Amino acid sequence: MSALFTDRLWRKVEPIWNSYLEHPFVKGLGDGTLDQEKFKHWLKQDYVYLIDYARLFAIGSAKADDLEKMTTFAKLLHGVLDVEMDLHRKFAADFGISKEELESTEPSAITTAYTSYMLNLSQRGGVENVVASVLACEWSYNFIGKSLAKVPGALDDDNFYSSWVEMYSSDEFTELAQETKQLMNQIAEGKPEQELAKLEEIVVRTSQLEYMFWDMVENKEDWPVNI
């Protein structure tokens, strides 16, 4: 049996993802010390990020060549719109931020760069580009969630961000990440090295964009870009 493509990807992204765990924003979620103004910035930017991210799954569903993959994308689409974005809406309600305000957030330059990169590749390529584009986001948040869940007190009620940690480390999200990894492995099987290298590049670049997203929210950058 050949080695799994996601094992090869893991070796590439592991150092980048480990650096997320050292990032002050991520650390602050685990120990509860994160400035709530910074968190509000994440909520808003992430909400508009997720709207475009959801479109990626719709593209994946349209490009899928069998019902099984079509169904997986549809499940992932539901996961973003009704589960993950609901966490954002609940946190926003606690802050007195309305759904309308969340939705009308102007994307920062990094948010636009990140979503545009994924949408561009997904529209240009086949279903393999869609899966490679969404993989790091899903898998890395699950990686962060599971790592933070091990921080003493991270899941306790007195950590304001415990529901964040709980959600991204949950069995449900672990399963979603697992399904996407399986999809990636299925699609990669039998592909020539030249194509695998292109998919690997997408996963590495999106991992770097994830880091920039953490930096953007930490620094509350909100300068937009019009493209």
Ligand X SMILES: Cc1ncc(C[n+]2csc(CCO)c2C)c(N)n1
| Residues placed in the known binding site for substrate | 46, 84, 138
Q: Which is nearer to ligand X, 196 or 225 (CB)?
A: 225
Find the shortest distance in angstroms from Cβ 171 to ligand X: 13
Residues 184 and 57: their CA atoms lie apart, in Å, by: 14
Residue from 20, 47, 49, 161 touching ligand X (CB under 6 A): that is 49
Task: Report how far apart, in Å, the C-alpha atoms of 214 and of each of 193, 207, 210, 221 are.
Answer: 32, 11, 6, 10
Nearest distance, CB of residue 76 and ligand X, angstroms: 6
* Three-state DSSP string of 61-118: HHHCCCHHHHHHHHHHHHHHHHHHHHHHHHHHHHCCCCHHHHHCCCCCHHHHHHHHHH
Which segments of the chain are extended strands (E)?
none
What's the maximum distance between 2 C-alpha atoms anywhere in the chain? 54
Binding mask 171-190 for ligand X (x = CB under 6 A): --x--x--------------
Give the annotated binding-site residues. 46, 84, 138
Q: Rounded to a whole number, what is the distance in angstroms from the first to the last CA of the chain? A: 46
Residue 70 or 196: the one with the smaller Cβ distance to ligand X is 70
Among the listed ranges 67-75, 135-143, 149-157, 219-227, the one in contact with ligand X (CB under 6 A) is 135-143
Whether residue 196 contacts residue 5, with contact meaning beta carbons closer than 8 Å, is answered with: yes
Binding string to ligand X for residues 61 to 90, with x set by CB under 6 A, is what?
Answer: ---------------x--xx---x------
Residue 218 binds ligand X (CB under 6 A): no
Which entry of 22, 195, 201, 210 is annotated as an active-site residue?
210
Closest CA relative to residue 49, chosen from 61, 41, 60: 41
Please tell me the distance from the alpha carbon of residue 147 to that of residue 190, in angstroms, as a whole number. 33
Annotated catalytic residue 210? yes
Question: Which C-beta is closer to ligand X: that of 64 or that of 136?
Answer: 136
Binding region for ligand X (CB under 6 A): 46, 49-50, 53, 76, 79-80, 84, 137-138, 141, 173, 176, 210, 213
**Which amino acids are annotated catalytic?**
210
